[in-house]
Amino acid sequence: MPIHNEFDSIAALRDALRDRKVSALEIADSALQAVQASSLNAFLHIDPELTRAQARAADALLAQGDAPSLAGIPIAHKDVFVTRGWRTTAASKMLADYTSPFDATVVQRLHQAGAVSLGKLNCDEFAMGSGNENSAFGPTRNPWNREAVPGGSSGGSAAAVAGGLAMATTGTDTGGSVRQPAALCGVSGIKPTYGTVSRFGMIAFGSSLDQAGPIARHARDLLELLDPMSGFDERDSTSLEDCDGVANAPGRIRNAFDAANARFDAAGPRPLEGLRIGVPEEFFNEGLAADVAQAVENALSVYESLGARRVAISLPRTRLSIPAYYVIAPAEASSNLSRYDGVRYGHRAQSYTDLADMTSRTRAEGFGPEVRRRILVGTYVLCHGYYDAYYLQAQRIRRMIADDFQRAFADQCDVIMGPVTPTAAKRIGENRDDPTADWLADIYTLGVSLAGLPGMSIPCGFSADPSPLPIGLQIVGNYFREGELLAIADRFQQATDWHQRKPESK
């Protein structure tokens, strides 16, 4: 049992580390042991010596007494963030032996904040999937039930936190890949506003949608990672310098969190008095499982008891978010993944007749079926003659979806809440013969991604299964409201204990 699990929060572990009650090296060693003993298949690459070197460096800083906020905190990165030390494979055979000569900005920033990395986490190949079954290195298992998927694409990231292997992890969210696995594993996750966290060093899937975000047990721990992760980066041209008049830099989200908290504290026994929660009718459609609907309903009641008010809203184009997303994301992916051709790095076919044959064989062998499927879809929708009908039309719908959210935030509500997924985690292999069935289950998360809004998931209950599986509550805010979202989630977690439930150790 890793030592860090004895601490309820990063803040508590930080205090212990600073008081030298425990060393970063002890923390790292116990976590590494657990990772090595784990059967979750959450980790793809570990390098104990590298981790221990980072832990020793953190200990040195802690000994000096001026350690940064995450000094000694054991984390791990989704394997789409490139790292100098560990291999970076994007869970693909294509990059099975690839090591990057540079670190992703997210990796660099968390390292600078003192975090100790345990290694790289399993995920869907190139972040394409929602069950972690598309990994070339085998599926990650859900700590609550080994037969269930952990969600995806950041399945390893969610499973590692839920399984107690890491205090917090990084993930990426293109259409729900942080929120959905967090929900299915009973942990918390946040995808911030597009442009607030640098994409430099994040292996691209859908560039206009990809955004990194942390996964942890609760909102306060999310804040500990998200705040230092975010900030303008001149190496990413889509990274923002300014967030509504506030510089995009570490401190921005923490300050907003503190300000919101102070407001809530001042409000007395009903801290969220005046908060208007928009509940979109389209999120409670016929596809929503009864147990999920009930858990979300209960969560909304908790919020009401905290002083918030429910407002029925409509996001009329929710259903259109599926086709829009599954045109735009594959279109961008088809181009982003063109670079994997076996010429400069990565997998190259053993035998081929000519150049074209080398490219096709390399890509046919190197990519798994879901990645190939999306490349084909993306190539098709960009083709001359189809571009207007698919890609441009999807972009139009995307703008309309973003407008729908803006209308709701302008007139009706401060935050939007609803389910993350229509059901709790499915069984591994369940939709194997119907690959697009999984696409439909992304209905509640895609709109937020298309609009570039911040969204998070926090645990709010369990399914009616004989072996109950976690259910998540989605909270969506307007642009740059990450601090407020976390503070609102934190109030829920002060009032409930869903986030403290742990799967039985198996």
Partner 1 sequence: MEWEIVIGLETHAQLSTESKIFSNSSTRFGAAPNTQANEIDMALPGSLPVLNRGAVERAIQFGLAIGAHVAPRSIFARKNYFYPDLPKNYQISQFEIPVVQGGSLRFFVGDEEKTVNLTRAHLEEDAGKSLHENFTGPHGESSTGIDLNRAGTPLLEIVSEPEMRSAAEAVAYARTLHALVVWLGICDGNMQEGSFRCDANVSVRPKGQKEFGTRCEIKNLNSFRFLERAIQYEARRQIELIEDGGKVVQETRLYDADRDETRSMRTKEDSDDYRYFPDPDLPPLVIQPEWVERIKASMPELPAAKRERFESELGLTGYDAAQLTMDRAVAAYFEETAAVLPGGQAKLAANWVLGELSAALNRDEIGIAQCRVKAASLAALIQRIIDGTISNKIARDVFAAMWDGEHDGNPDAIIEARGLKQISDAGAISGMIDDVLAANPAIVEEYRAGKQKAFNSLVGQVMKATKGKANPQQVNDLLKEKLG
Instruction: List interacting residues with partner 1 (CB under 8 A).
Output: 81-82, 88, 90, 95, 98, 100-102, 104, 199-204, 206-208, 234-238, 331-332, 334-335, 338-339, 341, 343-345, 355-356, 359, 379, 382-384, 387, 391
What is residue 1's three-state secondary structure? Answer: coil
In the chain, the amino acid numbered 283 is F
CB nearer to partner 1: give 230 or 431. Answer: 230
- DSSP letter at 477 equals E
What is residue 348's three-state secondary structure? Answer: coil
The first and second tokens of residue 365, run together, are 């062998």
CB nearer to partner 1: give 194 or 303. Answer: 194
The first and second tokens of residue 362, run together, are 């390399």
Q: Which of 23, 30, 78, 449 is catalytic?
A: 78
Q: Which of 100, 130, 154, 177 is catalytic?
A: 177
Report the nearest approach of partner 1 to the CB of residue 493 (Å). Answer: 33
The first and second tokens of residue 455, run together, are 């969204």
Burial class (CB in 10 A: 0-12, 13-18, 19+), 228: buried
Catalytic residue status for 78: yes
Which of 133, 147, 182, 178 has the alpha carbon at shortest distance from 162? 182
Catalytic residue status for 130: no
Report the nearest approach of partner 1 to the CB of residue 11 (Å). Answer: 31
Report the nearest approach of partner 1 to the CB of residue 201 (Å). Answer: 4
- Which helix (DSSP H) or strand (DSSP E) does residue 446 occupy? helix 443-451
Burial class (CB in 10 A: 0-12, 13-18, 19+), 68: middle
What Rg do the C-alpha atoms of the chain give, in angstroms?
A: 21
CB nearer to partner 1: give 346 or 483. Answer: 346
- DSSP letter at 413 equals -
- DSSP letter at 391 equals I
Catalytic residue status for 177: yes
Q: What is the 3-state secondary structure (H, E, C) of 263-320?
A: HHHHCCCCCCCCCEEEEEHHHHCCCCCHHHHHHHHHHHHHHHHCCCEEEEECCCCCCC
The first and second tokens of residue 328, run together, are 């735009």
Report the nearest approach of partner 1 to the CB of residue 199 (Å). Answer: 6
Report the nearest approach of partner 1 to the CB of residue 348 (Å). Answer: 11
CB nearer to partner 1: give 364 or 383. Answer: 383
Report the nearest approach of partner 1 to the CB of residue 86 (Å). Answer: 13
Q: Which of 23, 117, 130, 153 is catalytic?
A: 153
* Residue corresponding to tokens 């969610």: 158
CB nearer to partner 1: give 384 or 432. Answer: 384
CB nearer to partner 1: give 74 or 330. Answer: 330
Residue 342 CA to residue 181 CA, distance in Å, equals 32
DSSP string, 191-253: E--TTSS--TTBPPSSTTT-EEEEEESSHHHHHHHHHHH-S--TT-TTS-SEETTEESSTTHH
Report the nearest approach of partner 1 to the CB of residue 174 (Å). Answer: 12
CB nearer to partner 1: give 79 or 291. Answer: 79
CB nearer to partner 1: give 277 or 402. Answer: 402
Residues 447/405, Cβ–Cβ less than 8 Å:
yes
CB nearer to partner 1: give 379 or 406. Answer: 379
Residues 496/300, Cβ–Cβ less than 8 Å:
no
Which of 182, 185, 174, 203 has the alpha carbon at shortest distance from 40? 185
Report the nearest approach of partner 1 to the CB of residue 355 (Å). Answer: 7
Phi-psi category of residue 151: left, alpha or beta, with phi > 0 → left and psi -120 to 50 → alpha: left
Report the nearest approach of partner 1 to the CB of residue 400 (Å). Answer: 18
φ, ψ of residue 408 to 5 degrees: the values are: -65, -45
Give the active site residues: 78, 153, 177
